[in-house]
Amino acid sequence: MNRGRRLRTNPLIRGMVRETRASRDSLIYPIFFEEGNNIKAHIDSLEGQYRYSPDRAKEAIDDCLSHGVNKVLLFGIPKEKDSVGSQAYAENGVVQQAIREIKKEYKDEIYVITDVCMCEYTSHGHCGILNGNQVNNDETLKYLSDIALSHVKAGADMVAPSDMMDGRIAAIREKLDGAGFINTPIMSYAIKYASSFYGPFRDAAGSAPSFGDRKAYQMDFGNMREAIKEANFDEEEGADILMVKPALAFLDVIRELSYNTNLPIATYSVSGEYAMIKNAGKQGLINEYGVMCETTTSMLRAGADILITYYAKEIADAILRGDIG
């Protein structure tokens, strides 16, 4: 008689035959940096998350390293915004300051990835340059390339464009290569859906559009074939890593992408996913820790190699305990 339970009798054998493995090396922790000094402000919509000023970057990074997380994704909140998001590519912009502070203190001990977009920096909250009420795709490419280059010049190890403009990977690759940064990787938000799961992030980053929505450039959540097409475009243009965002509602997309690329696949477990688990746990409706472990494993099981998550530090601890992977 076949007995599946033979391989479930105790934790040692369950660990030995576990099909999905996790590593702290795969975790990326998002950090928000706000222009100013001596700032550590709690983000009410994201319990346990903070906005830091660049001069307090050490506090945020030390906390990450204490959990074994050595990769971070930086977002910036400037004091001043304008129609062309000029603080996004300013030499002394908030993200550029944060990169320098981190690299001055840690050098190669921490791997710094930067979000490349304009929504946090434009007065209208859209991800590019406007022509009337429409985002001008091709004009935006120059600005995105300038943002990426400014981050790398400041010391960023990798750039991650999240705007969903057509052709931006090629434009950024050309810009970086032309400036001599041929070895700087690009992690593309290749498959980014127009999702209702982004709400808490937009509150945290002050990036909600002042009119309309982003459905003209972010993807329709009903589409799978289009997702693979978008990822193929970015791979052809020179992306080094492909991302699916959000994660939990799109595990099938992660799986399908894993069949269609040889590049590493990242997924971003976004603010809404984190907030739902956090708040349900707080109300005693679920076991927060257990759900965190299950959902994390589901992303890896679907085919993700890299996880961007606000739970990165807690997941790293869970991996060490053997509760994940």
Query: Is 153 among the catalytic positions?
Result: no
The pTM of the full predicted model, rounded to 2 decimals, is 0.94
The answer to whether the CB of 115 falls within 8 A of the CB of 73 is yes
Specify whether 192 is catalytic: yes
Asked if residue 14 is part of any domain, the answer here is no
Residue 15 lies in a domain: no
Name the nearest CA neighbour of 306 among 223, 187, 207, 196. Answer: 187
Does residue 6 lie within any of the structural domains?
Answer: no
DSSP string, 9-55: SSHHHHHHH-S----GGGEEEEEEEESSSS-EEE-TTSTT-EEE-GG
CATH number, domain of 193, equals: 3.20.20.70
Residue 167 lies in a domain: yes
**Catalytic-labelled residue, pool 81, 103, 175, 245:** 245
Q: Where are the alpha helices (DSSP H) in 179-250?
A: 199-205, 225-237
Q: In this predicted structure, what is the pLDDT of residue 123?
A: 83
Q: Are 56 and 40 in contact (CB under 8 A)?
A: yes
Return the SS3 of 125. Answer: coil
H or E stretch covering 111: strand 111-116
Pairing of strands 71-77, 111-116: parallel
Within a domain: residue 289?
yes
125 belongs to a structural domain: yes
**Does 211 reside within a domain?**
yes
What is the per-residue pLDDT for 321? 94
Number of domains in the chain: 1
Domain-embedded: residue 13: no
Set 192, 229, 282, 313: catalytic member: 192
pLDDT single digits (tens) 130-180: 888 888 999 999 999 999 999 999 999 999 999 999 999 999 999 999 999
Q: Which domain holds residue 48?
A: 21-321
Give me the percent of the chain exceeding a pLDDT of 90.
82
Torsion sign across C-alpha atoms 10, 15, 17, 20 = positive
Average pLDDT, the chain: 94
